[in-house]
Amino acid sequence: MTSPAQEPVLARLSLLDRLLPLWILLAMASGLLLGRLLPGLQSLLGTVQVGHTSLPIALGLLMMLYPVLAKVRYGELARVASDRKLLGLALGLVWGLGPLLMFCLAWLFLPDQPEFRTGLILIGIAPCIAMVLIWIDLAGGDREAAALLVAINSVIQVLAYALLGSFYLQILPNWLGLNSETVNFSLWEIAKAVMIFLGVPLLAGFLTRRIGVRTKGVRWYEKTFLPRLAPWALYGLLFTIVVMFALQGQAITSDPLQVLWIAIPLFIYFVLMWSLAFVIGRCSGLDYRRTSSLAFTAAGNNFELAIAVSISVWGVTSQQALAGVVGPLIEVPVLVGLVYVSQALRRWFPVVYEN
């Protein structure tokens, strides 16, 4: 008799999860259509902001992350922290290869477009601290590893984002005889973005698990509470996508050719980073759950931060900010597709691990 762990992964997903690509495409199309047909909606949605992020987007991100972080078994973080192989591979891919690859792709595809090129480089030096948790959860990755990697990347992001920006926009181009870009970063804005979009849902998730397990027990928390809470992560994701594309629908649809030129290097980046990380994880002896966590952590980027920095330095209508907005237009469908690729590749591993 076939055990649940041996059943096809897609067969064990809910209808909402199985049709996620369709819901995301509909959300993107709805947002673009709203932004195009109701230009006044953009001003309305952008009126109230958290830092440089629209309040509806901020609320959507928090709603998206809280259920995922409530699933994390925080008592197991010490186990993940002791996994030097995983941490070493993740840090090398995220902070070493990722920014360098995006720098090369930006200059290769956009040599005469300095604004778009700068926007892509700002994306490449900002690893994801939000949606990556959704992708890892859907792929059946290691939630505890994902939470720890996101936390580590968040701290490094606060400390190193300005330095990496100066290096890839000024120092390295000067060394190579290329045109450089002068940028001033606000460390406070970076730290504030991290505290809001990771700190708040992380604290809420930790307290929810701690209180829920203490008052009702582990079985009730895992089998009753979490299944009821889980769909809200995807509701938050879809809501965020609709609002995000409604805010930039006019800019994206007014010049599709510009979007295409930004999309090509982004597409190559996401697929290449994910593929390299997945192969490296497997060849290094990591199990499926840690390998998929490594792959999605390496491929995802923090568009919210890149957009916020672009807006604060060049303005909301700048081409740098537009490059940041095009990012999720490409990342979301690509990484959703890679979720299904990841699930299909579980058979590549000697043991199938339960999520």
CATH classification at residue 61: 1.20.1530.20
**Confidence at residue 120, expressed as pLDDT on a 0 to 100 scale:** 93
pLDDT band per the 50, 70, 90 thresholds, residue 151: confident
Mean pLDDT of 309-331: 75
| Six token digits for residue 305 | 């931060």
Identify the band that residue 100 occupies on the pLDDT scale cut at 50, 70 and 90: very high
Residue 220 counted as domain residue? yes
- Non-local (6+) Cβ contacts of 313 within 8 A are 183, 184, 185, 320
Question: Is 203 a member of any domain?
Answer: yes
Please indicate, yes or no, if residue 66 is contained in any of the structural domains.
yes
Average pLDDT over residues 116-126: 91
Q: Is residue 354 part of a domain?
A: no
Mean pLDDT of the chain: 81
Residue 32 lies in a domain: yes
CB atoms within 10 A of CB 134: 26
pLDDT of residue 43: 67
Q: Enter the tokens of residue 143.
A: 């939630």
The structural domain count of the chain equals 1
pLDDT value at 281 more than 90: yes
Is the full-model pTM beyond 0.75? Answer: yes
- Is there a domain that residue 207 lies in? yes
| SS (HEC) of 305-329 | HHHHHHHHHHCCCCHHHHHHHHHHH
Is residue 10 situated within a structural domain?
Answer: no
Beta bridge partners of 54: 49
Structural domain contains residue 186: yes
Give the per-residue pLDDT at 6. Answer: 40
Q: Is the pLDDT of residue 251 over 90?
A: no
Q: What is the domain range of residue 227?
A: 20-347
Is 354 a residue whose pLDDT tops 50?
A: no
**Cα–Cα dist 128/5, whole Å:** 29
Residue 7: the pLDDT is 44
- State pLDDT tens for residues 29-83: 888 888 777 767 766 666 666 655 667 877 887 887 788 778 877 777 777 778 8
Q: Which of 265-279, 281-295, 341-355 has the lowest mean pLDDT?
A: 341-355
